Amino acid sequence: MPIAVRELELDLDAFEGPFDLLLTLVLREELPLREVDLAGIVVAFVERLAERDELDLEACGEFLVLISALLELKARGLFPEEDAELAELEPEEAAEELARRLAEYRRAKEAAAWLLERLGERRDVYWRLGPAPLAPARPEPKLAPQRPDKLATALRALSVEPPAPSLAHMALRFPPTSQFLERWRALLRRRTRVDFDQEVEGLSRVEVAVAFLALLELRKQDEIAISQPAPFAPIRISRADAERSLSWTVRSA
Amino acid sequence: MDRPLRLVAANPVDQLARTIEALLVVASQPLSIDDLVAATEDDSERVETAVGLLSDRYREGRSGIVLEQVAGGWAFRASREAAEACARLYERPVEKGLSNAALETLAIIAYLGPCSRPDIARIRGVNVDGVVSGLVERGLIAEAGRENEFGAVRYRTTALFERVFGLESLAALPRLDDLGADVTEIRARLEAVAEKRPA
């Protein structure tokens, strides 16, 4: 049975699953190729090949095509600005460029080795470690020119004594609820139904409120019935016994 | 009869040296001659003389505290003979566990900085994002503007880097030309490998 390259199972740092899925993710740019260890894929493929006695040329061909395409994509991703520059080079120039880059990298490695040696020499040197180094100085934010007298005006407005809070509501005198209880009872002894708004007309807001409280009190004691056909409609008050006799009349009719 | 008390200083900059000594004790990072001139409000020549006096007084083998010229200034450190005792009490988080990749990246920034992550990746041939972040966290490198208004962030080494590696300044690094093989030699080696390979 031939090796199915696309079903090759991979277990890399950045990805775990079949090769086919990796390709899809890379092409959809859902997985950054630069994070993918391509050498790891090669190792996985070679291990798979080694499990078999004979060489599967077709699978090898397919794998080479795929992995080289990935390598090229990764290289382009790492050095985007150099695409054109390298493609235009003659083989001789390319070799020169490669040698130049290797020399550059070699120098970086040598410099790193020098730093490591230096670190070794400083191994027995201790000093006080202060706070993290200061960030590079940022330019001071420039403020628009300000007029000091405007600032003074603003401050003056703020420094004025605030008006004393009103305590007028504390002086309100509430008439006793009992007074209204008696008035309602007296009224309902004379008439079976009364209209709230009509009866409280001419009273102050406080008195209207107390009158209403008295009504609620009477309702609680089941002395009266209150009805209001709709919100804000006139409130009708009737004696409780009158209401009961009315409903009895309606039911018996 | 009262006479004004006259103090005869052993050295004309002794008083100044004592003030500088105090400043260096308080400082958590190296103080440059300019810093010392500003703080003491004295002239730079006298400050330099006083620092010379102190560096002789606090030298390796003479005192447990050593005055060293490092990272563009002067700073106290422990003498080397106290290293073992220091090691029992203190860690060195900045340089502890610096990887080869980190040292290579540091070297590139020290020589070519300010430079960006793509610049470093071009030389090292691998993605350097993680290494660069690690070095920033240690305080060995810091941001130094952008390539252009919207370009990649560039990095430079910090004074802490110079202190960790005991450099007076970046100029104390060996010359780049003295490091590594030259292009011709590498080219010759590449060709030698190419010839060995079967056509």
Taking only the tens place, the pLDDT of each residue in B47-86 is 999 999 999 999 999 999 999 999 999 999 999 999 999 8
User: Which pLDDT belongs to residue B158?
Assistant: 92
Q: How many CB atoms within 10 Å of residue B3?
A: 5
Query: Is the predicted pLDDT of residue B2 greater than 60, yes or no?
Result: no
Element (H, E) at A236: strand A236-239
User: Is residue B29 classed exposed, middle or buried when 0-12, 13-18 and 19+ CB atoms within 10 A define those classes?
Assistant: buried
Task: Write down the ipTM of this complex.
Answer: 0.79
Question: What are the tens digits of pLDDT across the range B87-121?
Answer: 888 888 888 888 888 999 999 999 988 999 988 98
The torsion angle over the Cα atoms of residues B104, B105, B109 and B110, rounded to 10 degrees, is -40
Q: What percentage of chain A's residues is helix, strand, coil (to nearest 5)?
A: 60, 5, 35
User: Which pLDDT belongs to residue B46?
Assistant: 94
Contact B179 A107 (CB under 8 A): yes
Residue reference for tokens 């590079």: A136
The angle formed by the CA atoms of residues A100, A105 and A109, to the nearest 5 degrees, is 145
Query: Is the predicted pLDDT of residue A242 greater than 80, yes or no?
Result: no
Instruction: Count how many pairs of residues, chain A against chain B, have C-beta atoms within 8 Å.
Output: 136
Query: Is the predicted pLDDT of residue A251 greater than 80, yes or no?
Result: no
User: Which pLDDT belongs to residue B92?
Assistant: 84
Nearest to B144 among A98, A119, A136 (CB): A136
CA dist., res. A44 & res. A42, Å (int): 5
Considering A90-99, A133-142, B18-27, the range whose residues carry the highest mean pLDDT is B18-27
User: Which pLDDT belongs to residue A202?
Assistant: 86
User: Which pLDDT belongs to residue A57?
Assistant: 77
Element (H, E) at B16: helix B14-26
The angle formed by the CA atoms of residues A133, A138 and A139, to the nearest 5 degrees, is 155
The verdict on B193 touching A (C-beta cutoff 8 Å) is no
Question: What are the tens digits of pLDDT across the range A64-99?
Answer: 878 887 887 787 777 666 555 566 677 777 777 777
User: Which pLDDT belongs to residue A125?
Assistant: 87
A8: Cα within 13 Å, side-chain hemisphere: 26
Contacts by residues B119-126 (CB-CB < 8 Å, ≥ 24 positions apart): B121/A78, B121/A79, B122/A78, B122/A79, B122/A82, B123/A101, B123/A104, B123/A105, B123/A108, B124/A105, B124/A108, B125/A78, B125/A105, B126/A78, B126/B101
CA dist., res. B90 & res. B83, Å (int): 10
Question: What are the tens digits of pLDDT across the range A188-209?
Answer: 888 888 899 888 888 888 888 8
Q: Which of A36-40, A207-211, B50-54, B190-194 has the lowest mean pLDDT?
A: B190-194
Mean pLDDT for the stretch of residues B132-159: 89
Nearest to B187 among A99, A106, A111 (CB): A99
Contact A108 B75 (CB under 8 A): no
Considering A101-115, A229-243, B161-175, the range whose residues carry the highest mean pLDDT is B161-175
Which residues does A55 contact at the CB level (< 8 Å), separation at least 6? A49
Mean pLDDT for the stretch of residues A36-56: 79
Chain B nearest CA to A135, separation (Å): 7
A250 pLDDT tier (thresholds 50, 70, 90): very low
Question: What are the tens digits of pLDDT across the range A151-201?
Answer: 899 888 888 888 888 887 777 777 888 888 888 888 888 888 889 988 888
Residue A207 backbone dihedrals phi, psi, to 5 degrees:
-65, -40
CA dist., res. B151 & res. A133, Å (int): 24
The verdict on B54 touching A (C-beta cutoff 8 Å) is no
A130 pLDDT tier (thresholds 50, 70, 90): low
B134: Cα within 13 Å, side-chain hemisphere: 17
Contact A127 B139 (CB under 8 A): no
CB B161 within 8 A of CB B140: yes
Q: Specify which residues B77 forms β-bridges with.
A: B66
Mean pLDDT for the stretch of residues B17-39: 91
Q: Which of B74, B95, B186 to mutate to test the interface with A (most CBs of A within 10 A)?
A: B186
Contact A103 B126 (CB under 8 A): no
Peptide bond into B114 cis (omega under 30): yes
Nearest to A133 among B92, B159, B186 (CB): B159
Dihedral over Cα of B56, B57, B62, B66: its sign: negative
- Extract the tokens encoding B146: 């952008």
Phi-psi region of A17 (alpha: psi -120 to 50; beta: other; left: phi over 0): left
A111, amino acid identity: A
In whole numbers, what is the pLDDT of chain B averaged over residues?
85
Q: The pTM is what? A: 0.52
Q: Specify which residues B73 forms β-bridges with.
A: B70
User: Which pLDDT belongs to residue A205?
Assistant: 84
A245 pLDDT tier (thresholds 50, 70, 90): low
Contact B80 A124 (CB under 8 A): yes
User: Which pLDDT belongs to residue A115?
Assistant: 92
User: Which pLDDT belongs to residue A146?
Assistant: 80
